[in-house]
Structure 1
Amino acid sequence: MGASGKFCFTSSNPDVIQLPGVTYPIFHAFLQYIYTGQTQILEEQLGALRDLSLQFEVMPLIKQCEDIIDRFKLNKKLFDSGRKVEISHPCSLPQRFTVFPFGLPIDVQRLKQWLSTGEYSDVEIYIDGHGIVARSHKLILSLWCAAFTKMFTNGMCESNSSKICLRDTSVDAFTEMLHFMYSGELSLQDSTDMGSLLLQILLLADQFGVAPLLQECCKTILECLSEDTVCSILQVISSIPSCKSLEEACERKFSKHFDYCTTVNTDFVFLDEATFSDILQCPNLTVTSEERILDAILLWVMEASDLLGWEAVDTILKTSTPEILFGERLQSVNMLFPLVRFPLMPITLLKKLEKSNLSIQIPVFEELVMEAMKYSVSKMTQPGSNQNVRFQHRQSTFKEFQYICDGDNNGILYFAGTSYGKHQWVNPVLSKKITVTASSPASRFTDPKALVSRTYQGTSFAGPRVEDGKNCSWWMVDIGEDHQLMCNYYTLRQDGSSAFMRSWALQGSLDGKNWTNLRVHDNDQTICKPGQYVSWPVNGPTALFPFRFFRVVLIGPTTSDSGPWNLCICFLELYGYFHM
């Protein structure tokens, strides 16, 4: 009641409010509105209900009564003595009408103040090892949590106690849950450990059965889900049935970035078998090669702390056994190895696997490799293989384009010029397979098609522009809406000028707006001659991210005095794993 208006409780009898002259129907409608957000009352009693609301300053009810009375005055035909009028509190967030305190005429700021000051509190909450963490109100706790309701009403000692002591509970997470109970909103401050705290709150919401908070946590996690957080989230939520949709979203995210999630670190080895198996069986699993999947399975069954390839594991098996190396997860290989599509592996790799210790010591591995060898040699579909996924190419796979030498024909921009291997090369800008743009308008010496023409240009540059208050120049390539590239190498060629770059970056983007640095060059002296080819690898985790847009961007002046911000290159080529 105190959160809905101004109720003056006398010091002599704080539990009693005197209401002389107020009839029961009026008082009942008044309380019903406060506690439920809606009520019914006879039309002729609207004035009395408004007066009672004025007395205690329940402002939403005052306004609604006056609005209804005014409508009756304007149109007396609406007035019907003896008919009941329905009054409902307008919810500030209609989509959350059923969540306390939305849908009720309550001053949320006043509620939050009471939580902060402990005013009107009737229960103290202690967390073992931290002392008292809050002075709360049993009614509000009971509205949200059935466990608290039972605790306060079961007739046991807790019902009469004014103290609650909790164990094995995060203070920060419980504080956030209390704040949600009083405000109906999750209000986390951005911080480096926000993701960890959010997961603790989610676990607490599941433990106490606060479903709206759990849903809000899931929604927030989905909004900030990334390749770096997906493993830690899956480890927490896989045991929570009500988080199934979030779990499936995480599995899709993992499968889409399988190379990254299994190469940056070994956190994925802590996933349970069911979750890891679901990821491996995801229809849209995107991976650069089946060898990557084999490596990941071996790391998982080993519960490895270091990143190893299958060859390193095979070497360990020279002096060990599968029982020792894989331990309790040894039985899982019978279920996981068949998820590797061995028939899609190159014959050279299969021959290595055939002679490996893995084949010698693990029967199911040997059987799968032999099956793949027969398929590879015969080049014919095995009986029933149309139904066997091991013989089917994945929907989402990458084709490798490996850098051989400067100016070679192995890059993806050259490949686009052949309509992806369908005919002789033509300029991919002219055939509209890719789009090239520059930081300055197109002109005789800023010609997008010239950058991929494979013909030396004496003068070819992108002029400067101001972005975020800084000078920059760039050439950008869009490889197409349905295409992505994990770039692991790139080649440039200086035009005929002596405006040599010294500080620049190769960047990738999914939308052409938000950019990720793939390789940054700071005072790089490599380019020193007109017409010079130069190439560099892209290393680290960013080489495992697929992007649609790529650009070479000048982040510092060139060696030219006359045009220090002209980006003077006449050729660009990209290499890596290409998704068509």
Structure 2
Amino acid sequence: MPSVFSRGFQTYLSSSTFSDVVIRVSNRDVGSLRRSSFTMENDPNSTHVSYREYKAHRIVLAHSSEFFDRLLTSQFRESSQKLIDLRYPDPEGSFSVLLKFMYGGILPGLLATTNVVHVMAMADHYLVHELVEICREYILRNVNKNNALMQILMMADDCRLADVVEHTSNILSKNFQFIDDPDFSCLRYEVFYDILHHPYLAVRDERELYEAILRYAKKNKLSTEHINNLLEAVRFRWMTYEQLEKCKAEAVVPQYLLLEAIMARLKVFECAPGHSLSAVPDISESLCVRLRRRISCITFEYDHDFDDRGIIHYLTCGNRWNHSGSRDITVTASSTEMGRASDLLSRTPTELWTKDIPASWFSIDFGLNRGVSPTHYTLRHGGNYRADSLRTWDLQGSKDGKIWVVLRRHNHDTSLVDKFATSTWTIDRDDTPVETVGMPHHAYRFFRILQTARNSSNHNFLVLSGIELYGDLFEWKL
């Protein structure tokens, strides 16, 4: 028999039946929390602030929120008042979303990239812990370089949501070159600094980065020290002579940065044939760190099976960003009975399978100067029939092709059920920062599909004809 509480108390929230308290919430801008002291003692009748009122039930509020539990069961005056003024501002009307969750326990269609940060900040303030986690998961799943990234970053910074700021800043840094005419002027200096000094900042042209910093400095009237700190993120060594002349003429760049750039270029010149290596000036390690931007990163988000947003499609069909000039991805197999191993990269369904041998596998090598940190992967059945479909296998990753790590394990997975059927799976990864030189610890050069038990027809044929990966693609200059 279904529980009488299975639908929550939404009806009572909507009808106000049995309500015993009115909650009044200010429409004041969240950003005003930075600029003024907005406390309980603010005049609720101020003409500068408007309010929304919600009829609610004390028992539901206390049950769903640690904040309200303390407020309504303590000696505070609010515990007996019929009208409670809340000090946390709500310009976006997010308190109504919070209430609906508190009364119903679900948020069908109520979260969006336009409100999730404010809802999360409000849930955090009122100690509705489950909703905080729901919002955090929504952001991790849905925020990407294609949707309101700057807006979400600014809202998260306004609301002081440090983990959301870090997550969105990471995405922004790794996709910096793909953001057209970015306006960072509303970001705090500390946030902008972290973006510019991110280890995987992807920059198409150092001059563009330089100009973005100048625009930011002008709008925010930065001190010389702060401007210099930001400009240290620019690799002046890679600018053209004409660009360096303009930088010098603009008299903004500190002389030591221009001198470092000239020294680095002189070193390359003196290392050329016909010049004595003994004459090469010594350049400090700290200088080398500033001069090199060896690793770049781009993020690929999954939309649908075998779309044009995947890493393999990008490298083999639509590469606009490859530093190395080589698009080669190598595919090998434990054996082949039908087709060629390279057919695994084909966008067109084609028949491909290994011999009937246990532990059959297909492996992909992205190359010496690449690594992939995957979030999703897609497979396509390799037969023009539904038999011999993959059922039990491991997706593995390796940095050297010798030591393999299981990224996702499948047991009796029936996702591939028809001829040339496709399916996509998520991959959990550990994004905990690790101090490493070069590639992040969760990025791999090699990937392998290893069949660990018989297929749907009780054979050992590994029948696949397509694979795609999504996530972060790292490339570095050799």
TM-score range, shorter chain: 0.5 to 0.7
1:115 aligns with 2:9: no
In structure 2, what is the equivalent of residue 247 of structure 1?
A: 165
Distance in 2, matches of 1:417 and 1:142, equals 59
Structure 1 residues 143-222: aligned runs within 5 Å: 143-166=63-86, 168-170=89-91, 172-189=93-110, 194-222=112-140
CA gap 1:417/1:272 in 2 versus in 1, 3 angstroms: closer
In structure 1, what is the equivalent of residue 178 of structure 2?
A: 260
CA gap 1:368/1:244 in 2 versus in 1, 3 angstroms: same
Distance in 1, matches of 2:127 and 2:4, equals 24
Distance in 2, matches of 1:417 and 1:230, equals 29
Q: Deviation of residue 218 (structure 1)?
A: 1.8
Q: Deviation of residue 110 (structure 1)?
A: 4.4
Q: In structure 2, which of residues 36, 60, 64 is the aligned counterpart of residue 140 of structure 1? A: 60
In structure 2, what is the equivalent of residue 383 of structure 1?
A: 283
Structure 1 residues 361-510: aligned runs within 5 Å: 362=252, 365-379=254-268, 380=280, 382-385=282-285, 388-396=288-296, 415-416=325-326, 482=370
CA gap 1:199/1:437 in 2 versus in 1, 3 angstroms: closer
CA gap 1:199/1:368 in 2 versus in 1, 3 angstroms: same
1:236 aligns with 2:155: yes
Q: Deviation of residue 259 (structure 1)?
A: 1.6
Q: Deviation of residue 154 (structure 1)?
A: 3.7
Distance in 1, matches of 2:170 and 2:13, equals 40
Give per-residue Cα distances to partners, 1:342-380, cap 9 Å, x unaligned. 2233445334433x122xxx4x52221122112212325
Q: In structure 1, which of residues 332, 345, 349 is the aligned counterpart of residue 226 of structure 2? A: 332
Asked whether the equivalents of residues 101 and 107 of structure 2 are also in contact (C-alpha less than 8 Å), the reply is: yes
Asked whether the equivalents of residues 290 and 345 of structure 1 are also in contact (C-alpha less than 8 Å), the reply is: yes
Structure 1 residues 268-417: aligned runs within 5 Å: 268-303=184-219, 327-354=221-248, 356-358=249-251, 362=252, 365-379=254-268, 380=280, 382-385=282-285, 388-396=288-296, 415-416=325-326
In structure 1, what is the equivalent of residue 144 of structure 2?
A: 226
In structure 1, what is the equivalent of residue 470 of structure 2?
A: none
Distance in 1, matches of 2:241 and 2:139, equals 43
Distance in 2, matches of 1:133 and 1:211, equals 23
**1:353 maps to amino acid:** C
CA gap 1:292/1:131 in 2 versus in 1, 3 angstroms: closer
Asked whether the equivalents of residues 117 and 152 of structure 2 are also in contact (C-alpha less than 8 Å), the reply is: yes
How big is the alpha-carbon RMSD for the aligned residues of Structure 1 and Structure 2? Answer: 4.3
CA gap 1:206/1:330 in 2 versus in 1, 3 angstroms: farther
SS in 2 for 1:285: coil
Asked whether the equivalents of residues 202 and 213 of structure 1 are also in contact (C-alpha less than 8 Å), the reply is: yes
Distance in 2, matches of 1:181 and 1:365, equals 55
Asked whether the equivalents of residues 10 and 100 of structure 2 are also in contact (C-alpha less than 8 Å), the reply is: yes
Asked whether the equivalents of residues 144 and 210 of structure 1 are also in contact (C-alpha less than 8 Å), the reply is: yes
CA gap 1:284/1:206 in 2 versus in 1, 3 angstroms: same
Distance in 2, matches of 1:171 and 1:231, equals 18
TM-score by length of 1: 0.44
Distance in 2, matches of 1:291 and 1:433, equals 41
In structure 1, what is the equivalent of residue 271 of structure 2?
A: none
Asked whether the equivalents of residues 235 and 291 of structure 2 are also in contact (C-alpha less than 8 Å), the reply is: yes
Asked whether the equivalents of residues 205 and 214 of structure 1 are also in contact (C-alpha less than 8 Å), the reply is: yes
CA gap 1:250/1:234 in 2 versus in 1, 3 angstroms: same
TM-score by length of 2: 0.52
Distance in 2, matches of 1:414 and 1:239, equals 40
Structure 1 residues 59-78: aligned runs within 5 Å: none
Give per-residue Cα distances to partners, 1:268-316, cap 9 Å, x unaligned. 221111111111111111111322221221121123xxxxxxxxxxxxx
Asked whether the equivalents of residues 231 and 271 of structure 1 are also in contact (C-alpha less than 8 Å), the reply is: no
Distance in 2, matches of 1:415 and 1:145, equals 56
Asked whether the equivalents of residues 118 and 159 of structure 2 are also in contact (C-alpha less than 8 Å), the reply is: no
Give per-residue Cα distances to partners, 1:22-50, cap 9 Å, x unaligned. xxxxxxxxxxxxxxxxxxxxxxxxxxxxx
SS in 2 for 1:339: coil
In structure 2, what is the equivalent of residue 69 of structure 1?
A: none
**1:350 maps to amino acid:** L
SS in 2 for 1:134: strand
Q: Deviation of residue 329 (structure 1)?
A: 4.8
Distance in 2, matches of 1:415 and 1:220, equals 37
Q: Deviation of residue 395 (structure 1)?
A: 1.1
Q: Deviation of residue 206 (structure 1)?
A: 2.9
Asked whether the equivalents of residues 343 and 390 of structure 1 are also in contact (C-alpha less than 8 Å), the reply is: no
CA gap 1:369/1:137 in 2 versus in 1, 3 angstroms: same
Asked whether the equivalents of residues 288 and 397 of structure 1 are also in contact (C-alpha less than 8 Å), the reply is: no
Asked whether the equivalents of residues 122 and 138 of structure 1 are also in contact (C-alpha less than 8 Å), the reply is: yes
Distance in 2, matches of 1:240 and 1:278, equals 18
CA gap 1:411/1:126 in 2 versus in 1, 3 angstroms: closer
In structure 2, what is the equivalent of residue 72 of structure 1?
A: none
Give per-residue Cα distances to partners, 1:82-117, cap 9 Å, x unaligned. xxxxxxxxxxxxxxxxxxxxxxx7714142222222
Distance in 2, matches of 1:413 and 1:214, equals 40
In structure 2, what is the equivalent of residue 48 of structure 1?
A: none
Identity among equivalent positions (%) equals: 23
Q: Deviation of residue 160 (structure 1)?
A: 1.9
Give per-residue Cα distances to partners, 1:311-345, cap 9 Å, x unaligned. xxxxxxxxxxxxxxx62454411211112122233
CA gap 1:239/1:209 in 2 versus in 1, 3 angstroms: farther
Higher RCO, 1 vs 2 (CA within 8 Å, ≥6 residues apart): 2
Asked whether the equivalents of residues 117 and 155 of structure 2 are also in contact (C-alpha less than 8 Å), the reply is: yes
CA gap 1:282/1:328 in 2 versus in 1, 3 angstroms: closer
Q: Deviation of residue 224 (structure 1)?
A: 1.4
Asked whether the equivalents of residues 151 and 159 of structure 1 are also in contact (C-alpha less than 8 Å), the reply is: yes
Q: Deviation of residue 185 (structure 1)?
A: 2.5
Give per-residue Cα distances to partners, 1:410-468, cap 9 Å, x unaligned. 9989954899xxxxxxxxxx997996756999xxxxxxxxxxxxxxxxxxxxxxxxxxx
Give per-residue Cα distances to partners, 1:527-561, cap 9 Å, x unaligned. xxxxxxxxxxxxxxxxxxxxxxxxxxxxxxxxxxx
Q: Deviation of residue 387 (structure 1)?
A: 6.5
**1:384 maps to amino acid:** S
